[in-house]
Chain A
Amino acid sequence: MSRLCHFFRTPEAIAGASILALLVVVALAAPLLFSGDSQAIAGPALLPPFQDWSLPLGTDRLGRDVLAELFHGARTSLAVGLAAAAAALLIGSIIGTLAGFAGGLVDEVLMRITDAFQTVPSFLLALAFVSIVGPSLGVVVAAIALGAWTGPARVARAEVLSIRERDYVAGARVLGMHPLEIAFREVLPNVLPSVLALSSVIVAAAILTEAALSFLGLGDPNRVTWGGMIAEGRTVLRTAPFLSVVPGIALVLTVLGVYLAGEGVVESAAARRSLS
C-alpha cells in the first residue's frame, strides 16, 4: 500500500502509469470493440480522419479502419514488448547469477558469450534471426530477447559479485546448502530489484525494435502492428500523412509512458530506501 503511495507521489509516475493503463485498456478492449477482422475492408480507401464518425480515424489504402488497426496494433506492441523484455530479463538474470556465483571458468565462458552477443548490434541480430527462421510472433519475441539479455546479465553478475560476499551467503554455505540452491534461492531474489530497474528501458527498446522489424516487413504478417502501419502509410505519405503519423504518435506515447512509469518505480524505490 505504502509502495503505491510512494509511486504516485511524482507527476512523471502518474503520467506514465496513466498512459500505460490507457494502453492496456485499449489492448484488452480491441477484440470487444472491433470484434471482426481488423484487416477487413470497412469503407472507402484513404478516408481522412474525422470525416465519418463510424470510422473516426479514417481508412488506409485498402479501406481498413485505422482506429481498429491502432487498437489491435496496441495488442501486438504490448505483447511483444512485455514478452521479449520478460524473456531477456529472465535469461539475463539466470546467466548473470550463474556467472557471478560460480566464478572461474564458468564465469569466463558465460561472460565471453555475453560479450559476443553485445558486439553484434541487437537490431542486426534480430533482423538476421527473423530472416532465417521466418516471421511469426514467437520468433519476433525470441529475436528481440536475443539482443536484449546481455544488459540484465551484466547487471545481475555485478550485483551477485557483491552479494555473494555477504554473511548470509556464507551462512547458507555453512548450513550445507547446495550451491545451486544458494544461487537461485538466496542470491537471485536479492539481485532482481536492480535487474528489474532495467525493465522499462528494455520494454521500450523491445517495442521499438518490434516496430522497426514490422516496418521492414519482418513482423508477423497475420497481425496488425504499428510498425507495419507506418510502412503501409509511407507510400502515400504526401497525400495521406495521417496513416503514418497516427501509429507514430501511438508508438511515441507508449515508449514515453513506459519510461515515465519506470522512472517513477525507481524514484519510489529510492525514496523508500532513504526513509529506512
Chain B
Amino acid sequence: MSVLAVSSLAKRYHRGGKPFAAVDDVSFDIGPAETLALAGPSGSGKSTIARLVLRLIEPDTGRIDFEGADFLALSCAALRSCRARIQMVFQDPLAAFNPHATVGRVLDDPLRIHNIASRAERPRRIAALLERVGLDAGLAARAIHEISGGQRQRVAIARAIATHPSLIVLDEAVSALDVSVRGQILELLLDLQRQERIAYLFISHDLGVIRAVAHRIVILDSGRIAESGDARAVIANPQSAIGKALVAATPKLIRNRP
C-alpha cells in the first residue's frame, strides 16, 4: 500500500487578473521507503505540490490519501496530530528556523507538541537525535545562526525525523549546500530511509542529484506531468520535450578516468 497517493490534484492562482494553473491534474503515489523525485524548471509547480501535499495550502480539486486515509478531510486538531507522520525539510536551512531559536529548542518543539517525550526525558532525546544525524550532542545549546549551513540542514532533518514520520517532503533540501556537504547529507538521508523506512518526496531541479538518490521521477512542465517512471531510465532516455531539455542542460563533467 502506498504511503501517499495523490490524484487529480489542481491549484489555480490569479496572476494579473488571469487565472493560471500552478498545478493541473497531477497524480502520483509513493510507497514505503521509496523516493519519488519531482523535477522541472522553475514555475513548473514543484513547490506548490509540496505545499499542497503538506496542506500548507489547500487544493482546488483532487484527492490526497496519506497512509490510507483521506488527508484533505482532516480538520484542525486531527490534522495537527497527523502532521507527526508527514514532515518537511526546506531549501534554505536558515530561513526554515525562527531566527532567535537555539538548536535545542528547534528539536524540543516536535517532542513537546506530539507528546513524544516527557519534559525530563527530552534533553536525552534531543542529544540522541543530534547524534542520529551525525552532530555533536553539545550543539543543542548553540543558536541556529551560529552553526554552519550543513549543520543546520542536519538539524532540520533531525527535527523532521523526531516524530517518526513515514514521509518527508524535501523541497530542494540540498540545493543550497556546498557539494562536499551535499554528498554527506544525501548519504544521511539514504541511511535514514533504510533504517526507518521513510518515504521521500524529493523536489529538485538537479537531475544529477535526483539520479543519485531517487527511485522514481515525475517531470513537471507548467503544472502538468510531462513524463514519469524509473528515475535512471527516464534520465537516460527522456521522452518528453521538457525531459530532453533538462537532461541537455545539466552540466556534464567529462573526465578521462584512468
Contact = CB atoms under 8 A, between A and B. Distances in A.
B100 A189 contact: yes
A186 B92 CA distance: 18
Interface string B47-65: 0000100101000000000
B125 to A, nearest CB: 15
Contacts of A171: 88, 90, 96-97, 159
Interface residues of B, number: 26
A176 B115 CA distance: 12
Interface residues of A, number: 15
Interface string A153-171: 0000000000000111011
A9 interface: no
Contacts, number: 57
Nearest to B80: A176
Interface in B68-85: 79-84
Contacts of A177: 80, 109, 113
B114 interface: yes
A178 B88 contact: no
B99 interface: yes
Contact of A176 (B83, B96, B100): B83
B248 interface: no
Nearest to B169: A174
B166 interface: no
A178 B159 CA distance: 17
A116 interface: no
A170 B53 CA distance: 13
Given A175-B109, A178-B80, A167 B99 contact: no
B84 A176 contact: yes
Interface string B88-120: 101010011111100000000110011000000
Contact of B95 (A167, A174, A175, A178): A167
Choose among B96, B99, B110, B159 the residue with the greatest number of A CB atoms under 10 Å from its CB: B96
Contact of B88 (A174, A186, A190): A174
Contact of B159 (A167, A170, A175, A186): A175
Interface of A: 166-168, 170-178, 186, 189-190
Interface of B: 51, 54, 56, 79-84, 86-88, 90, 92, 95-100, 109-110, 113-114, 159, 163
